[in-house]
Amino acid sequence: MTTTDATASSTRAAAATALRTVDANIASFGTRYPADTTTDDRYPLRPARADLPDTAPGANYGWTTSFWPGQLWLAHELTGDDRYRDAAQAHVASYARRVHGGVDLDTHDLGFLYTLSCVTAWRRTGSVEARDAALAAADALMLRFLEPAGIIQAWGDLADPAQRGRTIIDSLMNMPLLRWATAETGDPRYATAADRHTAALRDHILRADDTTFHTFYWDAVTGSPLRGATEQGYSDGSCWARGQAWGIFGFALAARETGDGTFLDAALRCADYFLAHLPADHVVYWDLVLTDGSGAARDSSSAAIAACGLDELARLLPGDVGDRYRAAAASMIDSLAAGYAPAGGEPGDPLLLHGVYDMPKSVGVDEGNLWGDYYYLEALTRRLVPGWESPWWVAPAPGAVR
Ligand code: GLY
């Protein structure tokens, strides 16, 4: 067996393990949603909330629910089995109710939520309900675009003084919904907002030493950039690992869609810093200030996101330069598969262990999480399905059939 054959076979084995868990979770979750993270390595259903129209456990609220139907769409891509398509499509009604009913929409994460659940459903099945819901979500996201700063507010009610004018690096992954809305409707406002927001983050959230702030505040009245701060990182001046991973992926996607070399440069700077701060096993600690010997917790989800982002970046670069980033992504995926993926196959299992959601608040520490699972499966899909079309893309890949 050649090295390439061995790699393909171990990647297929990793995907088969992940799919056994997806199968167990279809049986256990149905169209309900697991919690953001596992508790003792098992997902409970999302806790019930009395303030929502759906007061049962497993209701659709929060920022992470779409990573579950997102996994189902990936399972369909990997296997062609219509069972997965049907299971994924069954979630569209919940997202339509959520956006049309105004349930928990005070967040920039509408991009994560509606790209994976509804834009993908529209593309794969032509569901008009899904298209309408995704466009309504893009409109809700546009309400958060603040002039004159030209940024999208990340969290909370727009009138909340503590959140007013604040954005975060993660928001880059919400821009594909806006770019899709422009492509779908012909209205340039959405993509223009995405371009301005991405440029503001390039100029202020990415620091001169190629690290990133997790969050950054603008003066909502004058539009002046104010200051960076962390929320989930080690300190305001440190480099939160997942934020840097979002930066690699988000700036690379923006470069792909716009052809803007400054976004490509931003993605490269995020990537090179990330790669220069890897531990020996290629799976980062939760903040890049933490190194081998620190005894700190890993964040497997950062590695999974970075692997996808590095693959995206590699596609924008010439041959051997791109190959370097592709190889770095492969090392991370192999390490995740070998040391971080459980045997799985039981209801409530995650696809990846050892993530950190929010260390400063002690939430989801050394647990699986839904986004880590999703991006791990996306990373495996990128490797296994030649010509796979990413849900984050708007412009078709060269030679792709849509
Ligand atoms: N987007 C939230 C997080 O990465 O924790």
- Verify that 352 and 258 share a domain, yes or no: yes
d(CA 402, CA 399): 10
How far is ligand 1, taken at its centre, from the CA of residue 286, in Å? 12
Please tell me whether residues 133 and 178 are part of one structural domain.
Answer: no
Residues 254 and 291 in one domain: yes
In a domain, 11, yes or no: yes
- Which bin fits 342, alpha (ψ -120 to 50), beta or left (φ > 0)? beta
* Residue 326 within a domain: yes
Question: Which residues in the chain show pLDDT less than 70?
Answer: 1-3, 396-402
Q: Is residue 396 part of a domain?
A: no
Catalytic (active-site) positions = 109, 170
Place of tokens 């976004």: 263
Give the per-residue pLDDT at 395: 74
| 188 plus 314 within the same structural domain | no
Ligand 1 midpoint to CA 373 (Å): 13
Residue 401: its pLDDT value, please?
41
Atom of ligand 1 nearest to the CA of 170: 1
Half-sphere exposure of 2 (CA within 13 A, CB side): 3
Give residue ranges with CB within 6 A of ligand 1: 170, 232, 242, 357
Alpha helices in 205-299 (DSSP H): 241-258, 261-275
Residue 4 has a pLDDT of 75
Number of domains in the chain: 3
Same domain, 112 and 192: no
Do 54 and 119 reside in the same domain of the chain? yes
* Domain identity same for 171 and 184: yes
Query: Which domain does 161 fall in, by range?
Result: 146-229
Whether residue 402 lies inside any domain: the answer is no
Q: 246: CA distance to ligand 1 center in Å?
A: 9
Angstrom distance (rounded) from CA 226 to CA 167: 11
Per-residue pLDDT, 234: 98
Q: Whose CA is nearest to atom 2 of ligand 1?
A: 170
Write down the pLDDT at residue 105: 98
Dist. CA 170 → ligand 1 center (Å): 6
CATH code of the domain covering residue 353: 1.50.10.10
- For residues 329 and 383, what is the distance between their CA atoms, to the nearest angstrom? 10
Q: At CA 147, angle to CA 141 and CA 150, rounded to 5?
A: 70
pLDDT at 310: 98
**Residue 302 belongs to a domain:** yes
Residue 331 covered by a domain: yes
Residue ending a domain, among 205, 229, 253, is 229
Identify the domain boundary among 143, 166, 199.
143
Instruction: Specify the pLDDT at position 3.
Output: 62
Question: Which of 229, 254, 270 marks a domain boundary?
Answer: 229
Asked if residue 17 is part of any domain, the answer here is: yes
Give how far Cα 104 sits from Cα of 61, 145, 300, Å: 6, 17, 28
Question: In this structure, are 280 and 262 located in the same domain?
Answer: yes
Domain assignment present for 281: yes
Do 377 and 255 belong to one domain? yes
Atom 5 of ligand 1, residue of closest alpha carbon: 357
What is the per-residue pLDDT for 396? 64
Whether 345 contacts 24, CB under 8 Å: yes
Which residue minimizes the CA distance to atom 1 of ligand 1? 170
In this structure, the answer to whether residues 128 and 61 fall within a common structural domain is yes
- Is the same domain home to 246 and 381? yes
Q: Which atom of ligand 1 is nearest to the CA of 357?
A: 5
Torsion of CA 184, 187, 189, 190, to 10 degrees: -10
**Which numbered atom of ligand 1 lies nearest the CA of 168?**
1
**Do 86 and 114 fall into the same domain?**
yes
